[in-house]
Structure 1
Amino acid sequence: MVDWDEEVDINRRGDALDQVQVRLRVLQPDLLFARFRFDCNWTQPLRLREQVELTVRNLQVDGSPGIKLHTTSNWVKDSSMDVIVHFPAPQKENTEVSFAINLNWPRRFKPLVERTPDRLTVSFKRPTGHVVSKLVLPAGTDAFAEPVGDPALVKVIPGEDESGRKTVTFESFNLPARQPAGVRLELKG
């Protein structure tokens, strides 16, 4: 993985609109797919899992969205979903592939909006060059935030978006393989 650039917009119900731009370097000949796991921190009922919407699109050289890619998804637990992104043709070794993942997940952050600490973490099978995940908090809220993972590798940055909503961003450079990185949150007040 070269880059993971994510923005998660959380509303007052805990619904999350997760938008990720992925850039990866192909390290094996004829790569056919890429696999990801997304999760939440509570056991969701089937009716909510069935409402999760996923779209993956190629990204053009200029960053504009391209053709929708075929995906396969499977719930491995009541809180974790595996996603396989299928490429239309085998990807050649030593090339780069870019695509955008859009995930609309009802009540993903239910613990957070119910005033229980919640988290968002990432971990990759291979070393990753740059990871950034920005969480846009529900309107009118703020949060306490702590890094998850090696403090030397994870930087947590509070901020605001253009509409004045509070944000918490975590960033990591040169994240080692299988090293979790992220942020743990608790809403204030």
Structure 2
Amino acid sequence: MLISRNQSVLSTKNNHEAIFQAYLNVRFVFFDYIASRANGVIVSANNPKGQRCGKRFNQRAALKLEACSKRLFAASGFGGDCTMRYREKSVLIRANKKMAMHLMRRYRQNGVYLLAQGKVSLLLADGQQFGLPESFDALQIAKFKRPRQLPRHNRADYFSGFGIQQNA
């Protein structure tokens, strides 16, 4: 089957739109107490620049991020889809927008989540910021009280993107 150049560009655009929508539909699980009016940035070190990486690479990157964040007030947890069958190890760090941009560059991420007075926004690498309609409390999944309660298999270990391959 032949695919014209316009069709392939269109499918790439649709794929990016689907990924963007997935990032707007994020959910979080943090096992430490976080005040509902917390300020900071939620960052992950998994799959830099959306490039698919292996489980070991992502685990090493998450350990480096956690070690770096120990100096700062930080809470570790996960960001993922609503079932947490796809999740990435994430850290909530008390930081401002300037520090968020620095962390994004350091860990080669396309975006991070900013928290300001309980409101969440997606900050992209190009500086665009999109507010999420729900508060941080509403985005947290309360049914997981301990890491052992999370689903056994994590799809992030096999591909990147909340159920969507980013580099199709």
So what's the TM-score if we normalise by structure 1? 0.27
Which protein has the bigger strand share?
Answer: 1
Q: Which has the higher contact order (CA 8 A, sep 6+)?
A: 2
Which protein has the bigger helix share?
Answer: 2
